[in-house]
Structure 1
Amino acid sequence: MPLPIEGFSKLSKDEKIRWIAEQYTEDPEASISLIKKYWNDDRKLQQLHDEFIENTLTNYYLPLGIAPNFLIDGELYAIPMAIEESSVVAAASKAAKFWLTRGGFKTSVLGTEKIGQVHFMYRGNKARLEKFFDAIKPKFYKETAAITKNMVARGGGIRNIELRDKTLDLKDYFQLHCSFDTLDAMGANFINSCLEQFAKTLQKEAGASTILQNTEKDIEVVMSILSNYVPQCLVRAEVSCNVDDLGSDMGVSAMEFAEKMVRAVSIANVEPHRAVTHNKGIMNGIDAVVLATGNDFRAVEAGIHAYASRQGSYKSLTQARIENGEFHFWIEIPLALGTVGGLTSLHPLVKLALEILQKPNAKQLMGIVAVAGLAQNFAAVQSLVTTGIQQGHMKMHLLNILNQMNASEGEKKQLVEYFKKHSATHHAVVEALDQLRGKS
């Protein structure tokens, strides 16, 4: 049984690796060898990666792929995607090619407001708290001036500070609800620094207030933190074309295909079990680009799923309609992204990904990411309502199955060719490989 350890963070990298291998793996020497195989030969680059997080042992690789041929707002893009799941890049590329000759994708940023809150408890007269807040509100701006100076000079900064009464939800609970514009930075550190200063100002001014009574001056700040729910930091991506231009090479007529797409999205709007899987496919595209560009995909996931539930039940993130002979397919999602600061200026592949994307600003990146999600969803739903999802997915998954079975390069080549014309179920692949080896 492994034993607890004191001071693990103070061990050298080699000592950490030796300890974890000996305490938690069956073959320590093989585990150590595996860990070191994933080190970068460039020691300076490896040190950079080591310092991104704490207690680093090695690097955990994800494939970085490219989905080309995205026509977005009249510009042609090749979109970098970091993801481990087969068929995602292929599906995005397929959708990009489909819409390339049908007008491409259009995007619009509907808002860039980000939110932070100071959560506090106040046990006193609400009217006096409101009067006190109005009196000290200018001091929140004044006492964060040193923090906001550079951001304000670039056109961003604090947009508003509100006092919100939340006592119907929780006894004595109030908050400072604050909005920010952080321009091309994701802005987490900026927002949190402002919020912590707001909290200090709130408590200091309460203690010296002539408006609050003595029993009301002891305001308890519980926490000061940004919110990853940003429903006013919103982007829209859309495609549209004449229904007849959808073509008829999917086994059904263009109108039947359009109607099936609309019905599939409608089902995801009323059935949460379907909506979750529907939106998971959207996030395949979104997360892959967010990760490739050094942004926080966990924050993006949390905010988007909250947005999908904003009407009281979990719904589709995409919408579709047929109107006046036109097919319309679109998505509106909240996205708080950055193109400066954090990993965007540190990770070499993040910098390369942003260069491939033609060095977008934050608004442009919002549009690109939304397009990736919309394209992924279009490709998935297109497959679902025509051939079914497994035909394409299993063919993309074929190499994974063959690698699991230690197929040789020659075997892979023959079987990839074979399954171009046959259904690539796991059982069928195993059987085909066994037959091939039997013939050999």
Structure 2
Amino acid sequence: MTDRTKTSRIPGFHKKSPKERLDLVADFAGLDGETVGHLSDMGNLDPHLADHLIENVIATMNVPVGIATNMRIDGEDVLIPMATEESSVVAAVCNAARQCYDSGGFTTSMSGSLMIAQIQLVGASAPHEARIRILERRDEIKEICDACDPVLVKLGGGFRDLEVRIVDSLGGPMVVTHLIVDTRDAMGANAVNTMAEKLAPHVQEWTGGRVYLRILSNLADRRLARARATWTAEAIGGAEVRDGIVSAYHFAHADPYRAATHNKGIMNGISAVVLATGNDTRAIEAGAHAYAARDGHYGSLTRWEVTREGHLAGTIEVPMAVGLVGGATKLHPTARANLRILGATSADRLARIIAAVGLAQNFSALKALATTGIQKGHMALHAQNIAMMAGAVGEEIDRVAAIMVERGTVRVDVAEAELRRLRG
């Protein structure tokens, strides 16, 4: 029965300390002392920093950080920190990288570091004329934009180009201005948003229309990270395995129902590195999935082919708006430590590394699907989690997990029964 005396209206909640907020939440939710004590432990993140990274902080949530080994990218060996809660993700990258290490590993490139800010104009009586009027002001627009961030300009970035589109909408034609901005080693959201805000009243004045939205686009198709690698047929188990992987790709390319899961696997790897480095996982995921549907059909972010020598060639091209300056990337001590492990000294290098991880992740998933099935390897690792859920500790975890995998039944009730048997 609902307790109607409880209320989520807590005046001044945001002004309280994390401990004071936690006490209020504990009272509201009836949390026991052990739970409150657990939430009070903020681990290796200073409570003061946590309280300033987001709003209404009461606790932190630790996500495991694993290291992907065997990665050779552009002739350099790299260790990859990956933050994820999902079993087999890190192992998949390690295995994929090992199998193409001797054939050169991964080769990467980047299209640039350009971001797009959009300004939405409605109500222009002559939208095509309005479009031309805005394009005529390119030099003036450049001055306005660059004046917003002199530091960025000094670092070699700033306004680069102007596009104006007529977008047909349910509410009639919209004139949408794109500011193309080089954000260098920053992700760039704050910089381009500031430029769009500054330019908005000028666009209204020049066209007689009304500006509503002025914000960046996460479809960062001017900031594409690319990676490729070759797996020899011998290294992956022969021509039958190779052809199975290519066939699995053909399925994802043709069918959006399959492509959604195919690309989710790619993002398992990509998002883990993005999160580990304090970058915006939601922005990267939104951009990747939008890019996968850029031709009007949602398909694969990767491509798989057979080379003239009979080997397997994989490629990936994905928007990758990540940065090394600003936000959690600069403030979060674990993100800074992970960047040191990566050795990425530019946003360009970081983006290319992440693309390689996405390709490696996809290879392992497709190989598993084309051979033993995804469950065998995944469940072997997942079984350990199930064993712990059943209460196993220490050596019991591996023993219970091994029994479940051998039986081919990975469930909590099975783990509990085996644990009782082991304990006599």
In 1, the alpha carbon distance for the partners of 2:306 and 2:252 equals: 17
Establish whether residue 432 from structure 1 lines up as the match of residue 418 from structure 2: yes
Establish whether residue 396 from structure 1 lines up as the match of residue 381 from structure 2: yes
In 2, the alpha carbon distance for the partners of 1:356 and 1:281 equals: 24
In 2, the alpha carbon distance for the partners of 1:57 and 1:339 equals: 27
Q: Which amino acid aligns with 2:305?
A: R
Which of these residues, 34, 38, 42, is aligned with residue 38 of structure 2? 34
SS of aligned partner of 2:137: helix
Residue correspondence of structure 1 range 198-217 to structure 2 within 5 A: 198-203=199-204, 205-206=205-206, 217=208
Q: How far did 1:258 drift?
A: 0.8
SS of aligned partner of 1:364: helix
2:26 is matched with 21
Cα pair distance change 1:331/1:136, threshold 3 Å = closer
Q: How far did 1:428 drift?
A: 5.0
Deviations 1:103-136 (A, max 9, x none): 2111111343211111111332345424532443
1:165 is matched with 166
Q: How far did 1:424 drift?
A: 5.3
Q: Which amino acid aligns with 1:387?
A: T
SS of aligned partner of 2:315: strand
1:306 is matched with 290
Q: How far did 1:232 drift?
A: 2.3
Which of these residues, 310, 314, 321, is aligned with residue 305 of structure 2? 321
Size of the aligned set, in residue pairs, is: 417
In 1, the alpha carbon distance for the partners of 2:50 and 2:114 equals: 32
Residue correspondence of structure 1 range 80-159 to structure 2 within 5 A: 80-126=81-127, 128-159=129-160
Range moving further from structure 2, 138-147 or 376-385: 138-147
What fraction of aligned residue pairs are identical, expressed as a percent?
A: 38
1:57 is matched with 58
Q: Which amino acid aligns with 2:351?
A: M
Unaligned runs of 5+ in 2: none
Contact map agreement 1:40 1:46 (CA 8 A) in 2: no
1:259 is matched with 243
1:69 is matched with 70
Structure 1 vs Structure 2 CA RMSD: 2.1
2:323 is matched with 338
In 1, the alpha carbon distance for the partners of 2:409 and 2:160 equals: 55
Using structure 1 for the length normalisation, give the TM-score. 0.89
In 2, the alpha carbon distance for the partners of 1:310 and 1:134 equals: 25
Which of these residues, 197, 219, 223, is aligned with residue 233 of structure 1? 223
Contact map agreement 1:391 1:424 (CA 8 A) in 2: no
In 1, the alpha carbon distance for the partners of 2:360 and 2:146 equals: 43
Residue correspondence of structure 1 range 359-438 to structure 2 within 5 A: 359-416=344-401, 418=403, 423=408, 425-426=410-411, 429-437=415-423
Contact map agreement 2:109 2:226 (CA 8 A) in 1: yes
In 1, the alpha carbon distance for the partners of 2:253 and 2:99 equals: 25
Which of these residues, 264, 267, 282, is aligned with residue 280 of structure 1? 264
In 1, the alpha carbon distance for the partners of 2:31 and 2:231 equals: 59
Establish whether residue 12 from structure 1 lines up as the match of residue 13 from structure 2: no
Contact map agreement 2:110 2:352 (CA 8 A) in 1: yes
Using structure 2 for the length normalisation, give the TM-score. 0.92
Which of these residues, 332, 343, 361, is aligned with residue 358 of structure 1? 343
Cα pair distance change 1:131/1:336, threshold 3 Å = closer
Unaligned runs of 5+ in 1: 207-215, 249-253
1:174 is matched with 175
Larger-gyration structure (1/2): 1
Deviations 1:324-371 (A, max 9, x none): 123211111111111122222211111111111113311111111011
Q: Which amino acid aligns with 1:85?
A: E
Contact map agreement 2:131 2:166 (CA 8 A) in 1: no
Range moving further from structure 2, 415-424 or 86-95: 415-424
